[in-house]
Structure 1
Amino acid sequence: MAMGRLADPAAGIIDMVGGGALLAMAAMAYVTASRGFGMPFRGYRAAGAPEEKFIGVVYCTCQGSIHLMRGFQLMAPPSRGLYLPDYDYADFILLCPLIVLDILFTLKIPGKVVSAALTALSLFMAACAYATEAPYQWFLFALGLVFLIVLFARVQAGVRQRLSELPSAAVGAMYVAMVSFFGMWPLFPIVFLLGPRSANVLDRTSFAAIHVVFDIVCKGVLSLALLRVRAFMETIGWYGYSLTSKDIRERLISRLSDDAKAARPTSGGHAL
């Protein structure tokens, strides 16, 4: 059900602006995740920061890059090869499970594999529905919606259980994250139904603008809110480590020591 490779400069500009915003938020997330772990720009792990802190950096960077590329293609459609506007929702298959994992890791909620699989299945059904026609489109859409409802029930149960353990200072950021997730994700199916390949109420420009706003909230805002929650929980040692000034100093000294050992010539070699 191809829409044709027609240039849409307005939609392209919207996608590019959204992509730039998401990349900026990814940079903010990286700096935020690295804070308290020595030198933030010295390698991916940021001198000892747990790797799950950077999940938000990954999905914001990927989504921002995809929006930029899609924007370029909408402004000057290629004559052949991959055309991203024909594959809307396909990127969600990989990125949305990362969002769910980010929530589960931050709140230490079990069942990560099952929840990530449910997310991937739901978005796979959505991507397939977007690429086909009725009546198959509606069957796939309904099946994806079922997976999404089951996912919401699982995550909501875990979040409710953990909310009582959060300090009051972290509750506000947690509510922002949950509104970004539970409040915004149900709007995607509605936009799907109104989109140019379903009811055709929304044109390509409106469709792109809505998705850009949704992605900024559901990915950029969500990732920063979760990092703020994690920052409060780190101070009380909820994850098994604490960020006291002594701990920060020891991490920094350890990193500098590792760098010095790496720079030391091996036996039998000669220093330059």
Structure 2
Amino acid sequence: MMEAGGRTLRVATWRLDEQSDHPPILFFNGIGANIEAVAPLAEQLPERGFVMFDMPGTGESPDPTVPYNPFTMSWAAKQILEQLGLEDVDVMGVSWGGAMAQHFALQYPKATRRLVLVATTAGMLMVPGNPAALTKMANPRRYIDPNFMNEHFQTLYGGIDRDGAEHQKDSHIGRLKPPSPRGYFYQILAMLGWTSLPALPFLGKETLVMMGDEDQIVPLINGRILASAIPNAQLEVFRGGGHLFLLTHADEAIASLRKFLDAPATDAELARAA
């Protein structure tokens, strides 16, 4: 547990005490998701450090007493990095966390090396997903009822199974812990009225936008919008991938992530470093 931004937050780190040629990844999770839900991603990148935290009212972080917004939570994330002695990181976010990742990179460009946006949007200015999926997404039973998740997994997350996804799906369900009602509500509230779209043309970071072409919650067009608005962005589409393609297409996703993060520094990055 760490104190940051006037809040107590549960923080997880991987391999920060190990020598590495790569900056750590600061990861922002999806709405309502706890650290354990995405912990396997950190394990699949053993050459990198990793930092992740539970949002207020999710996982083991205490309930928020007052609402927050992307600015205040980016400030809290920056304080966590400072307490860990980290000056710059690669920033990654999935779904709701992808919006947080965009805001952090815009708010703290000097702390951000590269940016990875997964199954996400530019905020309120988005093309909405399948109403059936969005309705089930809002049902808290998806966190506490494995039968509900199994029954509606295809509607919720779309995509075809690869990489042993049936086993991974069951494992994923077992790692979920429901957020508190207040924690979930405040996460929704945090993004009301927020959009990154006007600022994205000024986001001078190499950016990888990863999208599934069968995502029922965040349609592919939203990734195309992000990639066209960010000057140094590249779009990678995972065929047959739904909202959880990081799970169902794990091998492909990790390979794509490594290729992007390990690519040599661009002239613009070298100029900024100088």
Identify the structure with the greater helix proportion: 1
TM-score normalised over the length of structure 2: 0.28
Asked which structure has the greater RCO (Cα within 8 Å, sep 6+), the reply is 1
Identify the structure with the greater strand proportion: 2
TM-score normalised over the length of structure 1: 0.28
